[in-house]
Structure 1
Amino acid sequence: MCVPTQKIYCITIITGFLTCDFEDVNLCGYVQDQNDVFDWTRKTGSTGTTNTGPPTDVTYGTGYGNYLYIETSSPRTKGDLARLISTTHTFESNKPSQCWHFYYHMFGVNMGTLNFGYRVNGNNQVLWTRSGDYGDRWIQGVVEISSSQNYEIFLEGIRGDGIRSDISIDEISYVDGKCPGAGECNFENGYCLYYNSLDDEFDWLRGQGSTTSASTGPNTDHTVGDGTGYYMFIETSSPQATGDGARLVSEIFDATSGKCVTFWYHMFGLDIGYLNIYVAEYNGTNEVKSWALYGQQSTDQDLWLSGQLGIVSPFKWIVIFEGIKGSDFRGDIAIDDIVFLDNDCQIQPAIADPANSINSDIICDFEINFCGWKQETAKDDFDWTRTNIETPSLGSGPGSDHTTGNGKKCCICFENLGVRSKLKERLT
């Protein structure tokens, strides 16, 4: 079980055989290689060096859970290597492939390299590698191994160019079969490598059948097409408030000259808010809104709609699916069947392209929130008010908003009473 503390991200993994969370003092049979430079260390809480290493493990998310890490303080020097080796995985002809899952933590300005590979007859082959600072968070790695012989897996931690390069690992497991493609998920067996951000107001949920709210959300998933299949959705009933957001974050992808993200979305309900997709650098900075829809997109509750967007990035990057609650509880938004293709593509539907709206980040109908507009604090005297009722002053103010023309939706205004008649207010 993963319990998030501070800014650690938790992901539900598929548990297979040889699962190891390192709570066992014997390390589940994993051994230190005798032909490396130093050893992995079993640890609880933070490592002994500031600004590197995790504050907690993955399993419990507290200072009491164990994980393994490499201690890179003196006498370690740049390039020193620690290698951990598993017990032998026995080949079975009816199970030629395994998908290995593990968590890693690589935080620190001097960060080195983590390698994951397998060994057959004493020969090592690296299958997966990461180098550099990935921020103060646990991230899940996935590696597929196909071998017609018995093998052991190994993990190598290599010291960087300073003491702030403590690399940590936790929760190693596998399932028989091939791994899904990078970023691919139909949510039938969990969240895959997606996780809920802690920097939002509520979470995406994994659902099956109908959501708990009437007249919104899908009746079935898209993959299976009946009540047994799973999808991800935002539940917009209480205690969620209008404008609250939920963010689902992908794994990290390498720089690309062209990827196409395809997915299915469901936006049925009179109070549907926003579904936004952002592309950001791997550490969450430099977000760019790349796809966005607002409001009900179909009057057929059984209809899933296809969406896609192309991505070009010179940096390591992530995708963020953001659902924002609309004006009331009939605003459940769902997504399913995410796939990443190795080619660029146009945004679909075309109306989801933020560039199709002139100054799309400036336009606002105030139905959900202020759309990023902020009250001026230094150069005015009071604030604009967002409302869906008549203003208190008799013979002044609108009887309804402009967007919908009824008194149930929102506009912004300022109340001009008494001393405020000579004051000014600014919205920027």
Structure 2
Amino acid sequence: MMSPSCTASPPPSSGDPCTPEQFTCRNQNCISQDQLCDFIDHCGDQSDEEPYICQGFSSRCSFEFDLCSWRQSGMDDFDWLIKAGSTLTGGTGPISDHTLRDPSGHYLYLEGSFPQAAGNSARISGPLLSRRSKHCQVRFFSHMSGEGIGTLSVFRGGEARGFDLLLNLTGDQGHAWQRVEVQLSRQEEDFQVVFEGKVGKNPKGDICLDDISFSSGCLLASEEEDDTPLPPA
């Protein structure tokens, strides 16, 4: 699922209590638990983005300071870079990040000009997620603007079974940050999410990422309490 980034309109309050599948905002609005801590103010009062709530969300990263728990791959051609403001090449890339919406804010980007060549790739991988994760999805914001945009792919998997392609975005997606959600179905083994960017046909092809987060149903493998076998699906 992909949509232009904007400040969400808070849902109308019906006055009824929120259900267990919903989060109760400070202003008494109800939102889905899946909308918590995804770098968008769904409540309308920022209570769904409070630090004390979001600190427990796996690998939530705005790239303001570093890569958080994301890691550069050693099996690609070059690395993703952390950038503030515009990218080096005109006619491609954003003018600010998504988090702060300001030129001082930082985001992750793939430089599409020299010394990179068409088809070169850069990958980052997330932490090991538990096979016990339920209703798990990765949410992120992408910016892919320019006539030379290549491909942004999302993979899920592990060393034992390999990686499955979940999403491919190719070519110019518009000059705006786009919110993307990718469902991560239940796995038989612990798994990782990998982002891969591929350089396009000409230098106007910078691919950018920001504000990556996982939904509340995603569990880190290190958070498992025991080794009890999974029940039958």
TM-score, normalised relative to structure 1: 0.38
Matched, 1:99 2:137: yes
Measure the CA separation in 1 of the matches of 2:137 and 2:198: 24
Question: Of the candidates 105, 108, 131, which is equivalent to residue 170 of structure 2?
Answer: 131
Contact 1:107 1:165 in 2 (8 A): yes
Specify the SS of the correspondent of 2:68. helix
Measure the CA separation in 2 of the matches of 1:148 and 1:11: 37
Trace 1:216-231 onto structure 2 (pairs within 5 A). Answer: none
User: Once structures 1 and 2 are overlaid, which stretch shifts more, 14-23 or 110-119?
Assistant: 14-23
- RMSD over aligned Cα, in angstroms? 1.8
**Structure 1 residue 127 displacement after superposition:** 0.2
Task: Please identify the structure whose Cα radius of gyration is greater.
Answer: 1
Specify the SS of the correspondent of 2:209. strand
Question: Of the candidates 87, 97, 100, which is equivalent to residue 57 of structure 1?
Answer: 97
Measure the CA separation in 2 of the matches of 1:104 and 1:73: 19
Contact 1:96 1:148 in 2 (8 A): no
CA offsets 1:291-330 (integer angstroms, 9 cap, x no match): xxxxxxxxxxxxxxxxxxxxxxxxxxxxxxxxxxxxxxxx
Specify the SS of the correspondent of 1:50. coil
**Structure 1 residue 37 displacement after superposition:** 0.6
| Map of 1:22 onto structure 2 | 63
Trace 1:264-343 onto structure 2 (pairs within 5 A). Answer: none
Measure the CA separation in 1 of the matches of 2:212 and 2:176: 17
Specify the SS of the correspondent of 2:149. coil
Measure the CA separation in 1 of the matches of 2:62 and 2:216: 19
Question: Of the candidates 29, 38, 41, which is equivalent to residue 78 of structure 2?
Answer: 38
**Structure 1 residue 89 displacement after superposition:** 1.1
Contact 1:86 1:154 in 2 (8 A): yes
Measure the CA separation in 2 of the matches of 1:110 and 1:14: 35
Specify the SS of the correspondent of 1:170. strand
**Highest relative contact order (Cα 8 Å, sep 6+), 1 or 2?**
2
Matched, 1:143 2:175: no
Specify the SS of the correspondent of 2:169. strand
**Structure 1 residue 46 displacement after superposition:** 0.6
| Map of 1:211 onto structure 2 | none
Contact 2:59 2:69 in 1 (8 A): no
Specify the SS of the correspondent of 2:100. coil
Contact 1:102 1:169 in 2 (8 A): yes
Measure the CA separation in 1 of the matches of 2:135 and 2:128: 15
Contact 1:10 1:58 in 2 (8 A): no
Segments of structure 1 that go 5 or more residues without pairing to the other structure are: 1-7, 179-428
> Which letter maps to 1:100?
V
**Structure 1 residue 96 displacement after superposition:** 3.0
**Structure 1 residue 176 displacement after superposition:** 3.8
> Which letter maps to 1:18?
S
Contact 1:108 1:166 in 2 (8 A): yes
Trace 1:357-376 onto structure 2 (pairs within 5 A). Answer: none
Measure the CA separation in 2 of the matches of 1:117 and 1:97: 17
Specify the SS of the correspondent of 1:43. strand
**Structure 1 residue 9 displacement after superposition:** 4.0
> Which letter maps to 2:85?
G
| Map of 1:85 onto structure 2 | 125
Measure the CA separation in 2 of the matches of 1:121 and 1:137: 35
User: Once structures 1 and 2 are overlaid, which stretch shifts more, 13-22 or 35-44?
Assistant: 13-22
**Structure 1 residue 112 displacement after superposition:** 0.6
| Map of 2:6 onto structure 1 | 10
Contact 2:96 2:105 in 1 (8 A): yes
> Which letter maps to 2:213?
S
Measure the CA separation in 1 of the matches of 2:141 and 2:164: 20
Measure the CA separation in 2 of the matches of 1:86 and 1:17: 10
> Which letter maps to 1:121?
E
| Map of 2:198 onto structure 1 | 158
Measure the CA separation in 1 of the matches of 2:58 and 2:217: 12
CA offsets 1:193-225 (integer angstroms, 9 cap, x no match): xxxxxxxxxxxxxxxxxxxxxxxxxxxxxxxxx
Structure 1 runs of 4+ with >6 Å offset? none
Contact 1:51 1:164 in 2 (8 A): yes
> Which letter maps to 1:151?
F
**Structure 1 residue 99 displacement after superposition:** 1.4
**Structure 1 residue 87 displacement after superposition:** 1.4
Trace 1:208-287 onto structure 2 (pairs within 5 A). Answer: none
Measure the CA separation in 1 of the matches of 2:129 and 2:65: 19
**Structure 1 residue 10 displacement after superposition:** 2.4
**Structure 1 residue 11 displacement after superposition:** 4.2
Measure the CA separation in 2 of the matches of 1:126 and 1:144: 12
> Which letter maps to 2:153?
N
Measure the CA separation in 2 of the matches of 1:42 and 1:24: 9
